[in-house]
Amino acid sequence: MPQQTILEGSTFCICDELGDICETTHGLFDDDTRFLSRLQLTIDGERPLLLSSGAVEYFSAAFFLRNPITDNLALDALSVKRERFVGDGMQDRVTLTNVTMAPLSFRVGIEIGADFADIISVKEWDFSLGDPTSAEPLPHTVEPTYDEARNRFVLVDPEGFGATQVILSQEGESDGHGIAFTLTLAPRETWELRVDVLTGEREPDHVELHFGEERRRVQDTLSAWQMRVPQIRADWTDLALAFERSVGDLAALRMRAKDAGAGRLPAAGMPWFMTVFGRDTLITCMQTFLFGSELARGALRELAALQATTDDPSRDAEPGKIVHEVRRGKCAVKWFDRYYGSVDATPLFPILLSETWRWTDDSALVEELKKPALAALRWIDEYGDRDGDGFVEYERRTDRGLENQSWKDSGDSQRFRDGRQAKTPIAPCEVQGYVYDAKRRLAELAREVWRDGALAERLDRDADELRDRFDAAYWVEDGGYYALALDGEKKQVDSLCSNIGHLLWSGIVPPGRVSAVVDRLLAPDLFSGWGVRTMSTADAAFNPLSYHDGTVWPHDNSLCAWGLARHAQWPEAHRIIRAMIDAAASFDHGLPEVFAGFVRADTPFPIAYPTAARPQAWAAGTPVLLVQLLLGLQPDRRGHRLESVAPLELPAWVGGLRLSGVHAFDRKWDVHVEDGDVSVVEA
Q: DSSP assignment of 230-249, as one string?
A: PEEEESSHHHHHHHHHHHHH
Distance CA(381)–CA(384), nearest Å, equals: 6
pLDDT beyond 80 at 209: no
Arithmetic mean of pLDDT over the chain? 93
Between the alpha carbon of residue 627 and those of residues 16, 291, 304, 374, the distances in Å are 34, 12, 30, 33
pLDDT beyond 60 at 268: yes
Choice between 177 and 403, residue whose per-residue pLDDT is larger: 403
CA geometry: angle at 615 spanning 610 and 617, to 5°?
A: 115
Distance CA(325)–CA(276), nearest Å, equals: 6
Give the right CATH number for 3-218 from 3.90.1640.10, 3.40.50.2000, 3.40.50.2300, 2.70.98.40: 2.70.98.40
Distance CA(14)–CA(26), nearest Å, equals: 5
Question: SS3 of 212, please?
Answer: helix
Question: Closest Cα partner for 417 from 540, 535, 536, 548?
Answer: 540
User: Would you state the pLDDT for residue 203?
Assistant: 64
Paired residues of 33 in beta bridges: 30, 118
Paired residues of 29 in beta bridges: 12, 34
Task: Give the distance from CA 676 to its chain's centroid.
Answer: 33
pTM: 0.92
Distance CA(487)–CA(494), nearest Å, equals: 10
Could you tell me the pLDDT band of residue 161, with boundaries at 50, 70 and 90? confident
Pinpoint the alpha helices (H) of 63-126. Answer: 119-123
* DSSP 8-state code for residue 384: I
What is the phi/psi pair of residue 472, to 5°?
-70, -35
User: Would you state the pLDDT for residue 259?
Assistant: 46
User: Would you state the pLDDT for residue 126?
Assistant: 82
User: Would you state the pLDDT for residue 160?
Assistant: 87
User: Would you state the pLDDT for residue 128?
Assistant: 64
Please state the rounded mean pLDDT for residues 96-114.
Answer: 97
Rounded to the nearest 5 percent, the helix, strand and coil shares of the chain are 35, 25, 40
Tell me the CA end-to-end span of the chain in Å, nearest whole number: 48
Question: Closest Cα partner for 666 from 292, 265, 288, 369?
Answer: 292
Distance CA(1)–CA(13), nearest Å, equals: 16
User: Would you state the pLDDT for residue 262?
Assistant: 44
Class of domain 229-682: mainly alpha
Distance CA(197)–CA(608), nearest Å, equals: 34
Spell 106-133 as b/e; 16+ CB within 10 A means b: bbbbbbbbbbbbbbbbbbbbbebbbeee
Choice between 550 and 7, residue whose per-residue pLDDT is larger: 550
Please state the rounded mean pLDDT for residues 139-161.
Answer: 91
Distance CA(429)–CA(407), nearest Å, equals: 11
In sign, the C-alpha dihedral spanning 586, 589, 594, 599 is positive
User: Would you state the pLDDT for residue 205?
Assistant: 60
Q: Which amino acid is at 353?
A: L
Task: Give the distance from CA 128 to its chain's centroid.
Answer: 15
pLDDT beyond 80 at 131: no
pLDDT beyond 80 at 412: yes
Distance CA(513)–CA(481), nearest Å, equals: 8
> pLDDT, tens digit, for every residue of 428-454?
999 999 999 999 999 999 999 999 999
Neighbours of 100 (CB within 10 A): 15
What is the phi/psi pair of residue 585, to 5°?
-60, -30
What is the phi/psi pair of residue 611, to 5°?
55, 35
Please state the rounded mean pLDDT for residues 389-408.
Answer: 95
Ordered by start, the domain boundaries in the chain are 3-218, 229-682
Helix (H) or strand (E) segment spanning residue 634 = strand 633-636
- Output the DSSP codes for 318-361: -TTPPPSEE--HHHHHHT-SEE---SSHHHHHHHHHHHHHHHH-
- Output the DSSP codes for 136-160: PPPPPPBPPEEETTTTEEEEE-TTS
What interhelical angle do 370-379 and 429-448 show, nearest 10?
Answer: 140
Residues 6+ apart with CB under 8 A from 637: 357, 358, 359, 361
Between the alpha carbon of residue 544 and those of residues 264, 409, 490, the distances in Å are 36, 17, 28
Distance CA(67)–CA(260), nearest Å, equals: 43
For residue 414, the number of C-alpha atoms closer than 13 Å in the C-beta half-sphere is 27
Please state the rounded mean pLDDT for residues 245-266.
Answer: 73
Question: Closest Cα partner for 56 from 64, 68, 48, 47?
Answer: 64
Q: Which of 196-210, 269-283, 362-376, 394-408 has the lowest mean pLDDT?
A: 196-210
